[in-house]
Structure 1
Amino acid sequence: MFGNYTVTDEEKDYALTLWEYMGLKHEGKKSDIILVLGNHDTRTAEYAAKLFLEGFADLLMFSGDKGVLTTGKWEKSEAEVFSDVAIGMGVPENKIILETEATNTGQNVAFSYKVLQQKGILEALHSYILVQMPHMERRVYATFMKQWPGDAVSLDIIVLSPPIPMLKYPNDHVGTLHDVITVLVGSFFRVKIYPDTGFQIQQHIPKNVWLCFNKLIKTGKYGGHMI
């Protein structure tokens, strides 16, 4: 996906620091709706479906058309692919809501709001479980709090992801460990710069995390998902 590079042990340590920072370690609890933001890993759909089937929410929503990492990957939209996964796991189709136009995280948030509003159920939803990949948790939260057209502060927001460690995350969908770290580096960089563009709220970045990011960039191997 991003080249055939070997990841050194030192680079793994740097990446693990970023991985830990990007995770929010929220605890799951009963909420009004589970909202899955589209991506290139169907394990997020599987995890969200599992949460639904375990009773964490009464509605399951998938958002996403095709983004940077799914254009040319699937014939259907991300939301439709994920919905098929959930239905295959036993989630009733009438409990699933689709948003199929978003092509980035900000649109996932804003367009989902619009769909819920059009369905006339937005005002009844006060608690959300947002589901994404593990190395996107912090970015999803920062984006939601900025891009939600309503009063996001008044909502109860939890961000969850499949509980898979970084070194076990590579698979046929997300690629090699190098690919995973490359996406991680790009997502982290967006957390750094997007507040200045108005895309996200500000997030504190500890010095050691920023140092690890810079060390990975200086290798010249992990810039494939940068802006």
Structure 2
Amino acid sequence: MTPKVHAMAQRIWNYHLLNNPLEKCDCIFVLCSNDVRVAEYAARVYLEGYAPYIVFSGGEGELTKGMFPASEAEHFAAIAADMGVSEEKILVEPRSSNTGENVIFTRSLLANRGLEPQRLMLVQKPFMERRSYATFMKQWPGKELVVTSPPLSFDEYPNEQLTYSDVINVMVGDLQRLRTYPDKGFSAHQDIPEDVWEAFESLVELGFTEHLISA
């Protein structure tokens, strides 16, 4: 990766991060994925007393087909239980296949349990914080949100599952969705600074297009 590509990717990474401070909430809502570090971080936050219960949401996505022995949510819940989270305090939503369904199905699950959290903590991968926030605000308006993620930098994030290229492709795709999804009714509008969008266009020209959607 050239210094120029790294700088543009870092700019988009920084934009996706919301940098919300941790606050006590009514519920920890974990959007599951292929990254078990999110499960571990969410469990630690729960064990530090930030909410009375934790819900894991996620079925099977493009990146997790065949990766886990069960759904993303069930796998993440098992990790949390192994770390000491009481199974009585864990809720599992194992059907969703995208961010919108994460919110819609979890909202239904909580309502069916008679739970009406007013302030929720969303736990997600760092580079998906902003889109998770925008989606939630559209699909479940009127709530207070704290959005957080494992405290990893752009250079610390890649691992055996996600290379630098993978991360850049997903970040670029998510930025495109932040721009186009409000018109489709999928998410709330987010202002995108000009320099961030210029970085997007440059990275697309360089071939980081694997996660883009057709216009």
What TM-score do you get using the length of structure 2 for normalisation? 0.97
Structure 2 residue corresponding to 1:211, chosen from 175, 198, 210: 198
Structure 2 unmatched runs, 5+: none
Instruction: Tell me how far 1:169 sits from its aligned partner.
Output: 0.3
Q: Which amino acid aligns with 2:186?
A: F
Distance 2:66 2:200 in 1: 29
> Where does structure 1 lack aligned partners over 5 or more consecutive residues?
1-6
Question: Quick check: 1:182 aligned with 2:174?
Answer: no
* 1:225 lines up with 2:211 in the alignment: yes
Residue of structure 1 in register with 2:136 after alignment:
144
Query: TM-score normalized by structure 1?
Result: 0.92
Structure 1 residue 113 and structure 2 residue 100: aligned? no
Measured in 2, the distance between the counterparts of 1:38 and 1:197 equals: 24
Show the 5 A alignment for 1:1-227.
7-122=1-116, 125-148=117-140, 152-153=141-142, 155-173=143-161, 175-220=162-207, 222-227=208-213
Alignment deviations for residues 165-195 of structure 1 (CA, whole Å, 9 cap, x no partner): 011101123x211111111111111111111
Shift of 1:69: 1.5
Paired residues in the alignment total 213
Deviates more, 1:100-109 or 1:37-46: 37-46
CA distance in 2: counterparts of 1:165 and 1:26, whole angstroms:
15
Q: In the TM superposition, what is the alpha-carbon distance from 1:121 to its structure 2 partner?
A: 1.4
Identity percentage of aligned residues: 45
Aligned counterparts of 2:166 and 2:97: Cα–Cα separation in 1: 20
CA distance in 1, matches of 2:209, 2:66: 21
What is the alpha-carbon distance in structure 2 between the residues aligned to residue 67 and residue 197 of structure 1? 21
- TM superposition shift of 1:75: 2.8
**What secondary structure sits across from 1:168 in the alignment?**
coil
Opposite residue 165 of structure 1, the aligned amino acid is S
Counterpart residue type for residue 97 of structure 2 = T
Offset, 1:72:
2.5
* Root mean square deviation of aligned Cα: 0.9
